[in-house]
Amino acid sequence: MVQPIENKYINYNPSELMPRSFNHPVFILGLMRSGTTLLLNILTEHPQLLKIGVELNSIWTTIGGASCMGECHYKTAADFKPEFGINMTNYFNDNIEAYKSKRQLIKRVLFSQKFGSGGILKDWDQIIPVNKSPHLTNKSLYLHEMFPEARFIHIVRSIQSHSLSMKLHFNKDFKSRNMLNFLPEDDGSCWTRLPAKELENAKSDRLYPGNFKLIPEAWLKLNYQAMKDFDKIGKEYYRIYSYEDLITKPEEILPDIFDFLKLDQKHQQKVVKMTSRQRKAFNTHTKDPINDWKTKLSEDEQMQIAKLIESQSEKYNLIQKTINP
């Protein structure tokens, strides 16, 4: 991974904007534990799609004007400032140039050998930077203002399997690092992750580990807000897919994504190979990431999810209907 150039563009100067060396970026969005990493690694096997870092949370927070560390606030077009667009354009430019080096080529080879995914040879003349971060999921309007031609791919995991994965993830994080997660009550803000001692005065019913109901509540409010924001952006700029479909029928989902991104047909042979490969779920806490919730969530936890779906059926059904078939 290229080392982030964290401080190079902080002092804004309009004359510092470099000519853009890439087509419109692609942002992979979705809640934590929803398959964003899996989708990133699959898509960037394509010669035109280049992974820029992983989540870049420190970069977006430091030079991009988007709070992605600790607190994760909702952002819209009204929060955008031109210097942030210049910073991120320059950052993407610099990383694309750095990724052309022999050292980075070797790293791509080793990554591909270890994980069985990730592209090696790239079409640098038509390169498209791809960035994924769950912490940008509540900032699509902000990103659209920064990069008006950007494309968004949002992945939704079922509320039940997502809740199990988040529960296991948060419990592990608390046990190993003593970190707590606080869910603000407003519609747009995501989880705030801080050391337990810094959340001593937070409302206990908004903390996890603690209140399990917060996990499916976050799934509902953040996915619903994302759908509303995408509706404002316009269908030509986004697609929404289910994690379960990506796992079980990639031969249908991946060609649809590549058509959406309008990639060069000269790479079609590579696309055919990508879509026919057998893949396993990546970075999971469970052996069966689709069905394990049925046995690993308690009856009470399953009941809490069912009651939330029933009480918020309009929002839940809208999310389900918005997912691309």
Give residue 3's pLDDT band: very low, low, confident or very high (50, 70, 90). very low
Q: What are phi and psi of 111, to 5 degrees?
A: -65, -45
On whether the CB atoms of residues 75 and 66 are closer than 8 A, the answer is yes
More confident residue, 233 or 202: 233
Calpha distance 73→95 (Å, rounded): 26
Pick the more confident residue, 34 or 21: 34
Instruction: Name every residue whose Cβ is closer than 8 Å to that of residue 44 and which is 6 or more positions away in sequence.
Output: 50, 51, 118, 119, 130
- Kindly calculate the radius of gyration of the chain based on its CA atoms and give it in whole angstroms: 20
- Please tell me the CATH code under which domain 21-322 is placed: 3.40.50
pLDDT, one tens digit per residue, over 102-143 is 887 787 777 766 666 666 788 999 999 999 999 999 999 999
For residues 74-98, give the mean pLDDT.
92
> Hey, where are the domains in the chain?
21-322
Regarding pTM above 0.75, the answer is: yes
**Calculated CA dihedral for residues 285, 287, 293, 297, nearest 10 degrees:** -60
Asked if the model's pLDDT at residue 14 lies above 60, the reply is no
